């Protein structure tokens, strides 16, 4: 179809390829311009407060005891032992 239309307009294959390349370039330029448009930026007052590390979190320590078992110990902010977990043990609250 295109070949017969091109022959009727006295266009050769090289001219058709050039037109396709120009159309593709125009499309890419339009797409780039659309992507470069200014987008709205959220005001800082509306964003949530960032979480600071160490604030209200427990500290974790990994220890290998005398029986060569790996024990994970969790401490609160005051340094008190909160939880001691042997390997393979998953608390019920974390299974759900």
Q: What is the mean pLDDT of residues 69-91?
A: 78
Domain of residue 74, residue span: 52-86
Per residue in 5-64, pLDDT (tens digit) is 555 565 566 666 777 888 888 999 999 998 888 877 777 777 777 666 555 566 888 878
Helix (H, G, I), strand (E, B) or coil at 64: strand
Tell me how far apart the alpha carbons of residues 28 and 56 are, in angstroms, rounded to a whole number. 50
pLDDT at 4 exceeding the cut of 60: no
Q: Identify whether 94 is part of a domain.
A: no
Q: Identify whether 43 is part of a domain.
A: no
Q: Identify whether 66 is part of a domain.
A: yes
Tell me how far apart the alpha carbons of residues 96 and 94 are, in angstroms, rounded to a whole number. 6
């Amino acid at each position: 179809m295109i070949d017969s239309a091109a022959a009727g307009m006295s266009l050769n294959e090289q001219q058709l390829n050039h037109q396709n390349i120009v159309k593709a370039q125009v499309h890419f330029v339009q797409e780039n311009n659309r992507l470069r448009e200014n987008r709205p930026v959220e005001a800082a007052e509306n964003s949530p407060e960032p979480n600071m590390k160490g604030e209200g979190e427990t500290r974790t320590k990994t220890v290998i005891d005398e029986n060569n078992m790996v024990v994970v110990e969790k401490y609160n902010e005051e340094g008190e032992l909160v939880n001691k977990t042997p390997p393979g043990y998953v608390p019920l609250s974390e299974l759900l």
